[in-house]
Amino acid sequence: MQFNVLFTVFQKILGYNNYALELMAEMGTKLGGSYVFDRQYIHSTCHDMAEIVYKLIYNLNTLAPKKYTRLFNAFDKINKEIEEELAGRLVIPQTDYTMPFSLITGDFTDVVGAKNANLAEVKNVLELTTPEGFAITTRAFQAFMDYNRLDEEVFNMIAAWRKGGLSKDEAGEKIQDLILKGTVPPELQSSISSATDRLYQNAKNGQALLALRSSARSEDSEHSFAGQYLSLLNQPRENILDAYKSVIASTFSGSAMEYRFQKGFAEHEEAMAVACQFMVDAAVSGVLYTLDPRAPDLEVMMISAAWGLGAPVMAGKVKTDLFTVDREAPHSLVSLDIVRKEKKLAILNGGGTDLSPVREDLQTKSCLPDEQIRRIAAAGLRIERHFKKPQDIEWALDRQDRLYILQARPLNIKAQVAQMVCDISAVLKTYPVIFENKGMIAAEGIAAGKVFVVKSEEELNDFPQGAILVTPYTSPRLAKVIKKANAIITDVGSPTGHMATIAREFRVPTIVNTEIATQLLHTGQEITVDARQNVVYAGTVKELCYYEFSEEAFEETYEYRLLRRVLKKIAPLNLLDPSDYNFVPEACKTFHDITRFVHEKAVEALISLEYDNLRNTRTASKKLKFDIPLDLVLIDIGGGIEPSATAGLVEPADVLSVPMSAFLKGLSAPGAWNTDPVSVDFGSFMSSLTKTFSFSVASPRFVGQNLAVLSKEYVNINLRLGYHFNMIVAYISENPNDNYAYFRFLGGVTDIARRSRRAQLLSEILSKNDFRIDVRGDLVVARIKKLGPERMVQKIFLLGMLVGFTRQLDVKMTTDQKIKTSIETFNKLKNGSTEPNRG
């Protein structure tokens, strides 16, 4: 095939590659909350994405005929999973029937029930202690019903009840009886049995017995179903299958059936998952309401507590101490009511529980000291902040005073809020706005608190719980305080950056790129951040916080969850090192992996193709002879290289390509190719990095495939320096309207903090120099066009300097301060150098 035909294919690949990366970043931005998007958007973008990736693979197989057809298999697998998600079918890890809590996320509500899903988030995201265990899924329930052929009989019983032939209790009892007599399907038995084995293998207390709790699909969401379904405490593991049957049978208690009927649930919508957990041998148990549902405006939390296990507290069967505490830390006591607690529920050795008398001296004693009250209240607020609703939380303290969260569900206070805040817009007008519509929302939500400005890393150590983090840069170093922050506001940053992702995971309302936050806000100032409307108010806007409580959180919407799930199959990059044995089509787990693979192999294919094809002297590739150890292969597609320089090595002077020549001059400008020694602690890392440029490459691991395709007016440069990827495409002719330059920079292997800082530095320098910038995470894209040839040459010269200057800079970007000093250094270099004239 003709070289120019192949080169067209190569350019197509580059084009699709860029488009794919931009689309990915765009989809990521939508999670931030600034945009209104719908299902149709998710479907059509996934479709576009798949099409681009398919075309990438197709074109690579044109460039390197049929060499990478296995990529189509990887593509089919990923695409099928995305289509499953789009069709509403969840892809469940491990088996269909049981799931350890460590693998459950909020996405699995349908599979494990809301109670289990909430509890898993409390454990996995908020890192609060919950009892160890696993969930038996709604699919297990369905398998049980199918295996015992119960669906039709259930349907008939319910029909009979609705028609009045049976009372609800009669119908319920008959169904429950069928379930209790049913057989647990063998596959389900073995799944439960191996999950139980794993649970006991990791157990600290092998003697502990199990609690089996209902976790119906619709329970704990808007409808609490409180007390409708069965939980069994302190069960020996031999009993587990019978206990399981009892719990799922309770789906059909007469009262539960009645409740569903009243609430308008179709019977087929309900499916019962079960939590199977170790019992907590509780010394004290109780319930926390993070807000008084009868009087939310009092700003208090309510804790009821009793000795022993919590079940009778929930059921209202024992008297409880009642503590009313301030919602604000340190959660001081507002009032308390200590009652005589004569009975407590205790676990029995060998199984079961028993209501037994409380020791005389403890009966009138408060069962919670202040310190425990504070711990419970603080945990409650964390959970409330995460779920963005006031919470009804069951908790227990074991005999070692370890706090366990047993259950967390939203408290419905919609009606009260509607009464308190009748016209939110009128209320909002009474609060002074500090700034609005600055920057982008990176994580949605509303929060109030005191500002804490962080300008250096040391200050992070003093960050108080519940403060609002205000900081110049988004840096992943902030990760350690994100969990403590009520909200985050930054001067610069992107909603697709790493910090934004963490903020969304912890659901901390975040606004980035406001430009002015650190100027207008000071430590100690009380503010309210509305990261829905993008407004920052002075003072605490209580009404807004309540208003938020009555709204569905963005993260709870189906569309948010769906987008996040499909993005997991699109955006993460697992293939990093092209020389790794794992850099193969089969290892591509996401569309990004495929994109990355295709790009790498396309560059490789083009080089080897022409390098081997030395007979074609016109376009044969040549190596550049350069002071700088940049292993660069040149392919001339027309007038780019002095024709007399046909043999082997090309001197820079032989490069006739206008943009390439400018780029090389920039790269070799004094001081631009940064060779400063780097500090010792990074020495080992640097030694591996510099191998890229060493002549005796011991390991091919870090060799870059550096390629430039050029003509008189055009250049297309692909550089891989260490682990970052740099692409420069430029066209310079006499006609300004045709002229353009495109610069793309991605990656590096240092930690994301330093990479982000380098991205920051690049974008600041480039935008000062009139480039149009688009930063998404650590991807920096800069464009400039339609300048006259002299000015274009200057811009490309600048890009050359910048590539040299920044190539190992991420290693040095240890603090945010380094961004500023590096920019100054660069500007000095730039001013000191003589920009070239054309030619």
Partner 1 sequence: MAEKQKTKILLLDDEPIVLKRLKPALEKAGYEVEAFSRSLEASDRIMETEFDIVITDLKMEGLDGMQFLTQVKTRSPATEVIVITGFATMETAKESFKKGVFDFLAKPFKLGEIQEVVAKAENKVLANRSR
Q: Which residues bind partner 1 (CB under 8 A)?
A: 30, 34-41, 44, 424-426, 428-429, 437, 532-534, 547, 551-552, 554, 557-559
| C-beta closer to partner 1: residue 470 or 541 | 541
Pick from 482, 489, 494: nearest CA to 511:
489
Neighbour tally for 791: CB within 10 Å: 16
Token pair belonging to 203: 């157990």
Pick from 411, 417, 324: nearest CA to 373:
324
| C-beta closer to partner 1: residue 40 or 834 | 40
| C-beta closer to partner 1: residue 34 or 105 | 34
Pick from 210, 190, 187, 186: nearest CA to 199:
210
| C-beta closer to partner 1: residue 36 or 266 | 36
Kindly state the smallest distance separating residue 38's Cβ from partner 1, in Å: 4
Residues in Cβ contact with 126 at an 8 Å cutoff, skipping those fewer than 6 apart: 382, 383, 386, 483
How far apart are alpha carbons 803 and 126 in whole angstroms? 41
Kindly state the smallest distance separating residue 559's Cβ from partner 1, in Å: 5
| C-beta closer to partner 1: residue 456 or 557 | 557
Pick from 393, 133, 168: nearest CA to 274:
133
Kindly state the smallest distance separating residue 415's Cβ from partner 1, in Å: 17
| C-beta closer to partner 1: residue 341 or 564 | 564
Kindly state the smallest distance separating residue 408's Cβ from partner 1, in Å: 23
Kindly state the smallest distance separating residue 560's Cβ from partner 1, in Å: 9
Strands 403-410 and 526-531: unpaired
How far apart are alpha carbons 597 and 585 in whole angstroms? 8
| C-beta closer to partner 1: residue 225 or 546 | 546
Kindly state the smallest distance separating residue 528's Cβ from partner 1, in Å: 13
- 489 with 529: CB under 8 angstroms? yes
Residue type, 722: G
Pick from 129, 127, 128, 105: nearest CA to 117:
105
**Entry field: residues in the chain:** 839
Kindly state the smallest distance separating residue 430's Cβ from partner 1, in Å: 9
| C-beta closer to partner 1: residue 51 or 651 | 51
Kindly state the smallest distance separating residue 535's Cβ from partner 1, in Å: 9
Kindly state the smallest distance separating residue 23's Cβ from partner 1, in Å: 13
Unique residue bearing structure tokens 């860029």: 18
Token pair belonging to 237: 């593991």
Task: Judge residue 19's burial from the number of C-beta atoms within 10 Å of its C-beta, 0-12 exposed, 13-18 middle, 19 or more buried.
Answer: middle
Kindly state the smallest distance separating residue 267's Cβ from partner 1, in Å: 24
| C-beta closer to partner 1: residue 47 or 484 | 47
Pick from 811, 651, 795, 636: nearest CA to 716:
636
Angle of CA points 394, 106, 23, to nearest 5°: 155
Query: 720 forms bridges with which residues in the sheet?
Result: 725
How far apart are alpha carbons 522 and 518 in whole angstroms? 7
| C-beta closer to partner 1: residue 333 or 424 | 424
Sign, Cα dihedral of 398, 403, 406, 409: positive
